[in-house]
Amino acid sequence: MRFDSLLESVGHTPMVGLPNLSPSADVRLWAKLEDRNPTGSVKDRAALAMIEAAEADGTLTPGAAIIEPTSGNTGISLAMASRLKGYQLICVMPENVSPERVQLLTMWGAQIIASPAAGGSNEAVRVAKEIAEQNPDWVMLYQYGNPANVDAHYRGTGPEILADLPTVTHFVAGLGTTGTLMGAGRFLREHRPEIQIVAAEPRYGELVYGLRNIDEGFVPELYDESVLTRRYSVGPRDAVRRTRELLEVEGIFAGISTGAILHAALGMADKAVKAGDSADIAFIVCDGGWKYLSTGAYEGTLDDAEDALDGQLWA
């Protein structure tokens, strides 16, 4: 496939069957390989869509500075696009993310402001909002509330899945900004009203939930509960176990959040088998494992990996 530039090549990712992990010929799992995007993650879709929307409505002008709270992938996507389009990028990132993410952002030319580990991305959001207020010229695209994030999946991810898998019965993805599930979920339900839209959210160690009070909790503005059928919380042990299984059994080297999603997808497959239903379960491979090699998730026992991930923002 030929494109005029790297930015043009976002999306149109392959969907591959998982013949070894699928429980039967009637209950099948399909992986949508979003790691095959320009910077290696699903976030390229939302990042480019948000930049293009801000250019179109005049918010983003040549040479502008962009500030964004991110735990990594969105920042990396924005950094690549900003580099090519001539924007300056400032990322507010929790200090407990993997060093690979910091290195990549720096290479693409982003500036990084660290937010405290306790409170995780909530703190990054709070700090970014504060800084944006002090610097009214800076543009915050704000992935948690920007409709262009949802729209990227409504226009891209959703239609691609339906085209490749018209018999889709389940769509399983990670719940972060909620953009993937809201956008692709809405599109798929419009065309397959019986589809189950299933969210897998990472359950981190206690440090990440270390808010000072409950009112500091955070629900993304984009989130609409009515789009989802079910929502699961997946801890690091199950996420790592499935990440390793995906590599060992199907050859796919994915990041840890994908393991959490696969865990929920396999749960759905199990329910379908028990109910005697046939199912085509599509799930998102968010990114490859490269950025997480230093976390300890890919070596040693599951106990070792679980201990190593405690306190880290692994998804």
Partner 1 sequence: MAIEVRIPTILRPYTGGAKIVEGSADSLAGLIADLEINYPGLSDRLLEDGALRRFINIYIDDEDVRFIGGLQAPLADGNSVTILPAVAGG
Report if residue 25 touches partner 1, rule: CB under 8 A: no
- The mark string for 172-191 relative to partner 1 (x by CB under 8 A, - otherwise) is --xxxx--------------
Q: Three-state DSSP class for 203? A: coil
Report if residue 205 touches partner 1, rule: CB under 8 A: no
CA proximity to 142, closest of 55, 217, 78, 212: 78
Report if residue 57 touches partner 1, rule: CB under 8 A: no
Report if residue 206 touches partner 1, rule: CB under 8 A: yes
Residue 153 CB, nearest approach to partner 1 (Å): 13
Q: Three-state DSSP class for 263? A: helix
DSSP codes of every residue in 106-175 = HHTT-EEEEE-STTHHHHHHHHHHHHHHH-TTSEE--TTT-HHHHHHIIIIIHHHHHHH-TT--EEEEE-
Tell me how far apart the alpha carbons of residues 77 and 40 are, in angstroms, rounded to a whole number: 9
Tell me how far apart the alpha carbons of residues 180 and 154 are, in angstroms, rounded to a whole number: 8
Tell me how far apart the alpha carbons of residues 265 and 210 are, in angstroms, rounded to a whole number: 29
Tell me how far apart the alpha carbons of residues 179 and 240 are, in angstroms, rounded to a whole number: 24
Q: Using CB under 8 A, which residues numbered 237 to 296 contact partner 1?
A: none
Residue 104 CB, nearest approach to partner 1 (Å): 16
Q: Three-state DSSP class for 236? A: helix
Q: Determine which residue in the list 39, 96, 98, 122 makes contact with partner 1, applying CB under 8 A.
A: 122
Residue 146 CB, nearest approach to partner 1 (Å): 11
Q: Determine which residue in the list 138, 218, 253, 298 makes contact with partner 1, applying CB under 8 A.
A: 218
Q: Which residues contact 100 (CB under 8 A, 6 or more apart)?
A: 290, 291, 292, 293, 294
Q: Which is nearer to partner 1, 169 or 178 (CB)?
A: 178
Report if residue 196 touches partner 1, rule: CB under 8 A: no
Residue 182 CB, nearest approach to partner 1 (Å): 13
Report if residue 209 touches partner 1, rule: CB under 8 A: yes
Q: Which is nearer to partner 1, 48 or 162 (CB)?
A: 48
Q: Three-state DSSP class for 104? A: helix
For 42, phi then psi, to 5°, come to -60, -25
Q: Determine which residue in the list 131, 228, 247, 302 makes contact with partner 1, applying CB under 8 A.
A: 228
Stretch that binds partner 1, among 25-33, 227-235, 242-250, 287-295 (CB under 8 A): 227-235
Q: Using CB under 8 A, which residues numbered 64 to 103 contact partner 1?
A: 69-71, 73-74
Q: Which is nearer to partner 1, 28 or 202 (CB)?
A: 202
CA proximity to 168, closest of 147, 143, 145, 185: 185
Report if residue 306 touches partner 1, rule: CB under 8 A: no
- In sequence order, the β-bridge partners of residue 199 are 173, 231
Report if residue 138 touches partner 1, rule: CB under 8 A: no
Q: Determine which residue in the list 40, 156, 158, 202 makes contact with partner 1, applying CB under 8 A.
A: 202
Active site residues per annotation: 43, 257
Strands 15-17 and 27-33 come out as antiparallel
- CA Rg value for the chain: 19
Residue 228 CB, nearest approach to partner 1 (Å): 7
Residue 261 CB, nearest approach to partner 1 (Å): 12
Q: Site residues (CB under 8 A) for partner 1?
A: 69-71, 73-74, 119-122, 124-125, 143-144, 174-177, 199, 201-204, 206, 208-220, 225, 228-235, 315
